[in-house]
Structure 1
Amino acid sequence: MDSPSHPPRSQARQYTVGPEDAGQRIDNFLMRTFKNVPKSHVYKMLRGGEVRVNKGRIKATYRLAAGDVVRLPPVRQEPAPAGGPGRAPVRRDLEDAILYEDPALLVINKPAGLAVHGGSGLSYGLIESLRAARPEAPFLELVHRLDRDTSGCLIVAKKRSALRSLHEQLRLGQMDKHYLVLVRGAWRGGARQVSTPLRKSVLRSGERMVQVDASGKEAATRFVPLRAFPQASLLRAELDTGRTHQIRVHLQSIGHPAAGDDKYGDPDFNQRMARLGLKRLFLHAAHLNFIHPVKGERLLIDAGLPAELEKVLEHLEGGSA
C-alpha cells in the first residue's frame, strides 16, 4: 500500500493504439500520457521493460502502429504545483477565450503575457493549462506558436491527423496569418514587402535575439497600412514565413519599430505610448484563414483587438501623444 505522503499510484492498463496515435514515437506518446511524470522516469520505464507493445519490449524510438496494444505500467503522477496549470482562474479564462471549436481542433484568443508552453523558467504555459483544464482530452497539441507578449489567434489540434494536416499547410504556405501592429512614425506609401534573412542567437542569459543577417534563414513579411496618426501607424502584417520575432525584427530593420517592444523597439517611443496607456507589445494575431483538416473547406477566424489596444488607438485618434 502506498504511503499517504506519496501521490496515488495508478493501475497497469492496456491501451489499443488508434489512427490518431499511429506514427508517433512511443517515448513521446508516454510523455503525453503521463503528463506529470519526469522525462527521466519515462525512459527508465522503457529501459526496464515496464512498457510493452504487443507483449514485447520496445526501444524509445519505436513508432506506434494502429492496432498495437500498449501496456501502460502503474506510475505515481505528481499533482500540478500550486499556482501552476491547474489554477481555476487560468482554466476559466482559457475556456472563455475559445473562438472556435469542433472535434478536430480549437482556436483560442491567447492573452498577452501568457507563454504558449512551459520552459525558459516558466513552470507552465497555455498548452499545459489547457490540458489541466481538460484531463479527459486524449490529444491536445499546439499547431503553431505566438510570442509570449503577442495576443490573438492560436490553433490547438485535438487529433493527430489534424495536426499533420495543419503542419503541412504551414509548410506549403497555405495558411494565412494576419497581425495588427502599431509602429513608430508615419508610414510612407502603400503596402511594402520586406524580404530579409533572419538569424537567431541565444545569449548567455538564455534570452533569444534575432537580427537581420545574410547568413540567416529566408524570411518575408508584407506590411499594409491601415490607419495613420501623427507619430504612429497601424499596419496589417502578413507572414509568408514564420521565423522567431519575424515581424518585430523586420519592422526594426526598416525604421518602424513596434510599439511596446522592449527588445527591438525605441525606448522613447515606448514611453510616449505608455503615457497613452500601452502596457504591452502592440502586436495581435487578428486573422487566420486555413483549410479545415477534416471538412476540407476554408475556415476564417477573426479576433478583434483587445480593449486595451483599442483605447490606445482612440487616444491617438484624439491627438494625444
Structure 2
Amino acid sequence: MYNSKYLEVNSDDVGLRLDKFIFKNFSNIPYSIIQKKIRTGLFKVNGFRKRASYKLNYLDKVFYIGDLILAKNKLKNLSVNEDQKLIIKKSIIFEDNEVIILNKPYGIPVQGGTKIKFSINDALNQTGSKNKILRLTHRIDKNTTGILIIAKSKETAKNVTELFRENKIKKTYWALVEGNPKEKKGYIKASIAKIKVNKMEKMKVIENKEKNSITYYKTLDSRDGLSLLEVYPKTGRTHQIRIHLLSKKCPILGDKKYKLSNNNSNKFKEINKKMYLHAKSISFKLNEKRYVVEAELPSHFKKILKLYNFII
C-alpha cells in the first residue's frame, strides 16, 4: 500500500467501531471528517474498505495514507472550538455517572455529515477523553430542540439503546402546528417509508398495516389557526411525528420539508422561519434508577406562545 501506515487493534479496542477507533487516535479531526475519509477509502481495515460502523477485531490493522499527518494540520481549523464546546456544556440539564442529558439547541445537527461543520457528536468526542468516549444513544432532527441522552460508557449506550428499541422510554414532545385536529385527543397509526422526490429523500405515509407506526397526541390549546399539541411517539421512525401530523393536515409550524401544498405560508410567514417541535420530557428506568427529566422550551417557542396568548 503506497505511502501508508497502520494502527494495530489491541485487546482494549476489540469491538470498537472503526470511526470511534480512528477518532481515539486522531482526536483533533472532527468526527464528520473522519466518517467522510472512511467513505472515500482514506482509512482501510486489513487493506479493505469498511463501513464506519465496522466492529474491530483483535490485531486488525487500520491503514491510513501517510499524508494524513499533514492533512491533520490543515483540518485543525475545522475542529470544534471553545465557544462551540461551551454551547454544549450550557445545554446540560442533567448528569450522573451513567448519562448526560442535554436540552439540544435549535439548528445544531446531532451527527456530522459531508456538509456539516459542527455537530453535537463532534463536540462530545472532543469533550471526552481517549479512555472515556461519550456516546449518542439516539437522534433528534437538526431543527428539533430538547431532550438528548448521552451515554458515558459503551455499556450504558447499549442499555439505553435497548430501552428505546423495547419502547421502555417515554419521550414527550410539544409541537406547534398549523390548523386544529378534528379530534382533540387521539392517536395516528400509519406506516412510513422512504421515497425520493426530485432527487431528495423524504419519508412518507404508505399502506402497510404490518409495519404501522403510532403517535399519540393531545391538544393543549388552540389560537388563531394554530394548535399546541402534546405528542408521544409510541414507535420511533425517522421524522415520524412530522409526517404523522402532516397526514392529519396539521403540519408543524416552520417545517420546510413536510408541509401541505396549500400551506398557509403567507398567513404565518413572520413566525414560520423556525420549526416548532420540542422534545420536552423523558422518563425511563436504568440500572434500577428512575429518570424523569424535563427540558425548558427554547426562546423562539416561548415567544410565539406568548404572542398568541396560549394557555399552558
Q: Which of the five TM-score ranges fits, normalised by the shorter chain? A: 0.7 to 0.9
1:191 and 2:182 matched = no
Q: Is the 8 A contact 2:91 2:104 kept in 1?
A: yes
Q: Is the 8 A contact 2:84 2:123 kept in 1?
A: yes
Q: Which amino acid aligns with 1:265?
A: K
The offset of 1:135, in angstroms, is 4.3
Per the alignment, residue 312 of structure 1 pairs with: 304
1:269 and 2:245 matched = no
1:31 and 2:25 matched = no
CA deviation profile, 1:161-192 (whole Å, cap 9, x unmatched): 00111111111110011110011123344321
1:209 and 2:210 matched = no
Q: Write the mapping of 1:64-103 to structure 2, written as runs, cut at 5 A.
A: 76=69, 78-79=72-73, 81=75, 84-103=78-97
SS in 2 for 1:47: coil
For the aligned residue pairs, the C-alpha RMSD in angstroms reads 3.2
Per the alignment, residue 42 of structure 1 pairs with: 43
Higher strand residue share: 2
CA distance in 2, matches of 1:253, 1:14: 49
Q: Is the 8 A contact 2:9 2:57 kept in 1?
A: no
CA distance in 2, matches of 1:83, 1:47: 30
CA deviation profile, 1:242-262 (whole Å, cap 9, x unmatched): 111111111111111111111
Structure 2 unaligned blocks of 5 or more? 49-53
Per the alignment, residue 51 of structure 2 pairs with: none
Aligned residue-pair number: 286
CA distance in 2, matches of 1:79, 1:132: 16
CA distance in 2, matches of 1:61, 1:315: 51
Q: Which amino acid aligns with 2:44?
A: Y
SS in 1 for 2:141: coil
Q: Write the mapping of 1:231-246 to structure 2, written as runs, cut at 5 A.
A: 231-246=225-240
Identity %: 23
Q: Is the 8 A contact 2:194 2:203 kept in 1?
A: yes
TM-score (norm 2): 0.79
CA distance in 1, matches of 2:166, 2:227: 31
Q: Is the 8 A contact 1:199 1:215 kept in 2?
A: no
Q: Which amino acid aligns with 1:33?
A: K
Q: 1:28 to 1:88 in 2, by over 3 A?
A: closer
Q: Is the 8 A contact 1:186 1:230 kept in 2?
A: no
Q: Is the 8 A contact 1:80 1:86 kept in 2?
A: no
Q: 1:309 to 1:72 in 2, by over 3 A?
A: same
* Range that drifts further, 180-189 or 26-35: 26-35
Structure 1 unaligned blocks of 5 or more? 1-9, 49-59
CA distance in 2, matches of 1:188, 1:105: 40
Per the alignment, residue 175 of structure 1 pairs with: 169
